Amino acid sequence: MVFKVGLLGLGTVGTGTAKILLDAARRHPLLETLEIHKVGVRSLDKPRAVDLPEACLTTDLEAIVTDPDIDIVVEVIGGLEPARSLILEAIEDGKHVVTANKAVISRYGNEIAEAAKKAGVYVLYEAAVGGGIPVIQPLQQALGVNRIETVTGIINGTTNYILTRMESEGGDFAPILDDAQKLGYAEADPTADVDGLDAADKIAILASIAFGGKIRREDVFTEGIRNVSASDVNYAKTLGFVIKLLAIAKRNDDSDTTIQLRVHPTLVPLNHPLASVNDVNNAVLVEGDPIGRVMLYGPGAGEGPTASAIVSDVMAIAATLHMESPAEEKLPNPLLSNAYSDYKTISPMEDLESRFYLRLMVKDKPGVIGHLGDIFGQHGLSLESLVQIGLQDNLAELVIVTHEVKEGDFQKALEILKASSADVDSIASVLRVLG
């Protein structure tokens, strides 16, 4: 069974999507059932970073959304039009749609959802919020049984990058924005990001799902970060806060229908989980009953992360199509089944490479450290650091961190150390070091 994908757009996200779909090995087996049929672009002459048959590419996007061979349309051209019309046309033609377009979903999500319901198709948009971070699906499914109280997000990477740099460098907004533009972290026209509009699009989408109702995009109170100064950042730091652009959707305590919905720069206490979300990273903190707090964190944009979210939506639709198909033997839902046939081979522990932390008590006499060094050297172990912590009862306490070494070699060296009673009194602790 093969499901055909029509890709609208082959820019940053479209390219990442095509790369995953063309290289399905060692990913979910359902990806083997997906095939790129057509790709719509604006210019046929542009060099492309992905190898697609020339016949695949077309500038006729209408032909893709009405192609009877195509099952799933992926819209990653961006902007309001023609994206909105193409999505609606694809739906009307009975195609399932996956999109990363927060601008369209936050403004026309209701119209699109109604059209999809009427046509009996799915429209999924995990990539529209938080890039590669799964947030829409967890809110709808894994966290769906909770009564959600608050969704608080750092959901714009550009503003988070600027605020992080203002905090670490003590610099002002304008020169850091300028530099961010030169480095490619901010667009030439930064309005959507720095004025909070992009975050407002995204929190409108999240609020609709979290609180189960339609949201008017224009109802989101929106204030950007242009007026945040180096002095504000500095004073906030002195008081134990960091300034973040937060997007907040909160259920009012006494109401089932009214919520708060806002985007603005906010002083966040340094011990709050969102305070340490830095640079272009995004995070969404969900608070609900009975789950308590869950934070979803990761890369909020970029070719690979966003494509990961797009293809996971395509795969979810493929699973549904697979279940609906009258064909051969099949599992009820490939996404809920773990019926693996082969065992994976697990490497023996002694073959793994790791750094080690070792704390030991040694005799306080000349030549001990040299002797330890000889034992380590014979087993290919080099030391990253060695510190003598203290001295008591003629024993010195040493803390050693090694460079990466095979576990088997380290354990052999350790056995010899344990047997060197002339030098070593005791091994107090051995821990593996990450990285």
Report which of 315, 284, 29, 7 is spatially closest to residue 131, judged by C-alpha positions. 284
Catalytic: which of 38, 95, 202, 250? 202
Select 19 or 359, whichever has its Cβ closest to ligand NAP: 19
Q: Which of 109, 131, 190, 196 binds ligand NAP (CB under 6 A)?
A: 131
Closest residue to ligand NAP, based on beta-carbon distance: 11
Binding of ligand NAP at residue 133 (CB under 6 A)?
Answer: no
Q: Which amino acid is at 308?
A: S
Q: Shortest distance, CB of residue 221 to ligand NAP, whole angstroms?
A: 22
Q: Which of 3, 5, 6, 14 binds ligand NAP (CB under 6 A)?
A: 14
Binding of ligand NAP at residue 40 (CB under 6 A)?
Answer: yes
Q: Shortest distance, CB of residue 65 to ligand NAP, whole angstroms?
A: 12
Q: Which of 43, 271, 347, 392 binds ligand NAP (CB under 6 A)?
A: 43
* CB 101 within 8 Å of CB 125: yes
Bridge partners of 247, per DSSP, are 153, 263
In the DSSP assignment, the letter for residue 9 is -
Interactions with ligand NAP, residue window 57-76 (CB under 6 A): 61, 76
Burial of 54 (0-12, 13-18, 19+ CB in 10 A): exposed
Select 127 or 311, whichever has its Cβ closest to ligand NAP: 127
Q: Shortest distance, CB of residue 81 to ligand NAP, whole angstroms?
A: 8
Interactions with ligand NAP, residue window 92-111 (CB under 6 A): 100-102
Known catalytic membership, residue 19: no
Interactions with ligand NAP, residue window 345-404 (CB under 6 A): none
Select 167 or 193, whichever has its Cβ closest to ligand NAP: 193
Q: Shortest distance, CB of residue 164 to ligand NAP, whole angstroms?
A: 18
Q: What φ, ψ does residue 222 adopt, rounded to 5°? A: -135, 120
Q: Shortest distance, CB of residue 101 to ligand NAP, whole angstroms?
A: 4
* CB 100 within 8 Å of CB 302: no
Binding of ligand NAP at residue 306 (CB under 6 A)?
Answer: yes
Residue 229 to residues 11, 226, 269, 351, Cα–Cα distance (Å): 35, 8, 18, 53
And the tokens for 92?
A: 């009307």
| CA distance linking residue 271 with residue 399, whole number of Å | 30
In sequence order, what are the residues at sequence separation of 6 or more whose Cβ sits closer than 8 angstroms to the Cβ of residue 184?
none
Select 10 or 139, whichever has its Cβ closest to ligand NAP: 10
And the tokens for 228?
A: 């945040």
Binding of ligand NAP at residue 46 (CB under 6 A)?
Answer: yes
Q: CB-hemisphere CA count at 13 Å for 171?
A: 16
Q: Which stretch binds ligand NAP (CB under 6 A): 10-18, 225-233, 260-268, 382-390?
A: 10-18
| CA distance linking residue 280 with residue 159, whole number of Å | 8
Report which of 281, 284, 262, 263 is spatially closest to residue 273, judged by C-alpha positions. 284
| CA distance linking residue 295 with residue 266, whole number of Å | 18
* Size of the chain in residues: 435
H or E element, residue 274: none
Q: Which of 6, 12, 177, 247 binds ligand NAP (CB under 6 A)?
A: 12
Q: What φ, ψ does residue 414 adopt, rounded to 5°? A: -65, -40
Bridge partners of 73, per DSSP, are 6, 97
Q: Which of 23, 29, 32, 42 binds ligand NAP (CB under 6 A)?
A: 42
Binding of ligand NAP at residue 284 (CB under 6 A)?
Answer: no
Q: Which of 36, 97, 112, 127 binds ligand NAP (CB under 6 A)?
A: 127
Q: Which stretch binds ligand NAP (CB under 6 A): 37-45, 88-96, 148-156, 397-405?
A: 37-45
Binding of ligand NAP at residue 155 (CB under 6 A)?
Answer: no
Burial of 420 (0-12, 13-18, 19+ CB in 10 A): middle
Q: Shortest distance, CB of residue 13 to ligand NAP, whole angstroms?
A: 4
Binding site for ligand NAP (CB under 6 A): 9-14, 40-43, 46, 61, 76-78, 82, 100-102, 127, 131, 301-302, 306
- Residues forming the active site: 202
